[in-house]
Structure 1
Amino acid sequence: MTDGPFRRETEQVVNEIAQGLRTLDAGVSWFSGLAPTRMREVLQQVAGYAMQAHITAEDGRVGVARSGVKPTANPSVMICMDPPRYGFADLPTAEHVKAFRVLVSVFAVADTRRRDTYCKGACRHAWHNLPTPTEQP
């Protein structure tokens, strides 16, 4: 598998979670099946998505609460810093699933805010216009 298709798969999974088309637990199941090297790549990609969504400290707190990860866990503390710290791929492998849960949950909060404000009614971002599960081939 090349980086291009894998990157698109990651983008698809993360945006489906953010838009409620895939559960966080289903996303975690997908993530958990990846090799450690791919997990680190996904964490870097999702951190990039979070940065592009311009997450706020409030997004961090709300996302952590939704993630099911303790607020005192390393990924939770990192994302709630002002500004957030993004070295999730450098965390020990044992913390990668927690980091994924936190990052995707915080991204979902920030991306929903942006879809409801900045992109409302005139959005041409392909990732904001995913087909519902019944529309997929």
Structure 2
Amino acid sequence: MADGKLRRMTFRKNARILPVLFAAPLLCAMAPGDMSVAAFLVRADALERLGPLALATPQGHQLKGEVIAAGKRYKARIDADRRAGRRTTSCPPESGTLTPDQWLSHLRSYPAAARNKISVYWAFDALMKKRYPCPA
């Protein structure tokens, strides 16, 4: 009887781990900045409960890394367009600040139905277009 109870407990424990194991290859294959807005917000909402300590967690570092990677990809693209003489999608200053509240507010402005289809990178690009439009 105890053996059957142990098997059920082990199965339940493994059943909770299986979705994580199946998702791991997908998450590892994604480039930084490719996380969907929906996934980012789910993780950010869970971390917000921790308050200022959230950034000290591994999950906080991962989310911060997503935003930094999106920013670096964006800057590389803008710089490449400028070097090639192409018109850029936005005209940001060389340096600037973006608070977590501004970023999360922008992400939450997307309709819930669209959040799965938009990556953090494209959301970053859209925010830069909105904040730093090029003069006509």
TM-score (norm 1): 0.35
Larger Rg: 2
